[in-house]
Amino acid sequence: MPKLKPDTQRARREHILDAAEHCFARSGFHRCTMQDICKEASVSPGALYVYFSSKEALIAGIAERNRADFAARFADLADSGDVVQALRSLAQHYFVDEPAHKQLMFVEIGVEATRNPQVGEIYRSVDEFCSASFEALFERLKAEGRINPELDVLSLSRVFEVIGDGLFWRRATDPNFDAARTIPAVMRTIETLLGAPLQSPQAAPRMVAKEARQ
């Protein structure tokens, strides 16, 4: 039989990955069986194993794609002229537009990274990229005099990471997560941290009681 065209191959792979993501999100990596995924993708086990050599490989594939996507979006942040606005739209995407189960996927990948070296490597590489991006960004902002010049860039980056992680966790984990209240409050915190209202003063008024009424 003639080899499938590379495009078809790639499409098939993505299709399987989509199905797997669905199933994994629905029931978690370990509760989800290969049969579930085959059914979801309308593909036979034999076919699936042509594209992914094992369940681990499938998980790694999911992690790869998920993290690559995140890295791509995150990369824009550092290049952005209006950082706060960029953060805001990142937040909109991950914590409002995308369904919660996608964030649960993120969390699940992070946990898997802890025990599965292959996933660990993928996860850590993106994490380190984010750290480095933050640091570069703050260094730049500092050099440009746009944030408090006394700030410690490394520490600031760590705090940003913690806040980002916390948001992912909340969004993934708390069915009552209230984006409308939490995200603006977090944004204001960030502005405070940076020491100035920055680029979007009109969008981020001080965090005071009368304005935060939901």
Please check whether residue 168 is in contact with residue 107, taking contact to mean a CB–CB distance below 8 angstroms.
yes
Q: Does 71 engage in binding with a second copy (CB under 8 A)?
A: no
Binding mask 16-35 for a second copy (x = CB under 8 A): -----------xxxxx----
If you search the block for the tokens 């802890």, which residue do you land on?
114
Q: Which two structure tokens, joined as six digits, stand for 180?
A: 């409308």
Select the binding partner of residue 111 from DNA, a second copy, none (C-beta < 5 to 8 A, by kind).
a second copy
Show contacts with a second copy in window 96-155 (CB under 8 A): 104, 107-108, 110-111, 113-115, 127, 150-155
Select the binding partner of residue 3 from DNA, a second copy, none (C-beta < 5 to 8 A, by kind).
DNA
Nearest distance from C-beta of residue 123 to DNA, angstroms: 20
Size, binding site for a second copy by CB under 8 A:
54
Nearest distance from C-beta of residue 14 to a second copy, angstroms: 25
Please check whether residue 21 is in contact with residue 62, taking contact to mean a CB–CB distance below 8 angstroms.
yes
φ and ψ of 149, to 5 deg: -70, -10
Select the binding partner of residue 182 from a second copy, DNA, none (C-beta < 5 to 8 A, by kind).
a second copy
User: b or e along 191-204 (b: 16 or more beta carbons within 10 Å of the residue's beta carbon)?
Assistant: beebeebbbbeeeb
Nearest distance from C-beta of residue 103 to DNA, angstroms: 23
Please check whether residue 88 is in contact with residue 203, taking contact to mean a CB–CB distance below 8 angstroms.
yes
> Dihedral of the CA atoms 41, 42, 46, 50 (nearest 10)?
-40
Q: Does 186 engage in binding with a second copy (CB under 8 A)?
A: yes
Nearer to DNA, 48 or 186 (CB): 48
Nearer to a second copy, 81 or 175 (CB): 175
DSSP per-residue string spanning 155-169: HHHHHHHHHHHHHHH
Select the binding partner of residue 208 from DNA, a second copy, none (C-beta < 5 to 8 A, by kind).
a second copy
Closest by CA position to 118, among listed 72, 66, 59, 68? 59
Interacting residue with a second copy among 69, 76, 79, 211 (CB under 8 A): 211
Closest by CA position to 68, among listed 117, 14, 122, 105? 122
- DSSP, collapsed to helix, strand or coil, labels residue 124 as helix
- What residues make contact with a second copy under the rule CB under 8 A? 27-31, 104, 107-108, 110-111, 113-115, 127, 150-156, 158-159, 161-170, 172-174, 178, 181-182, 184-186, 189, 192-193, 206-214
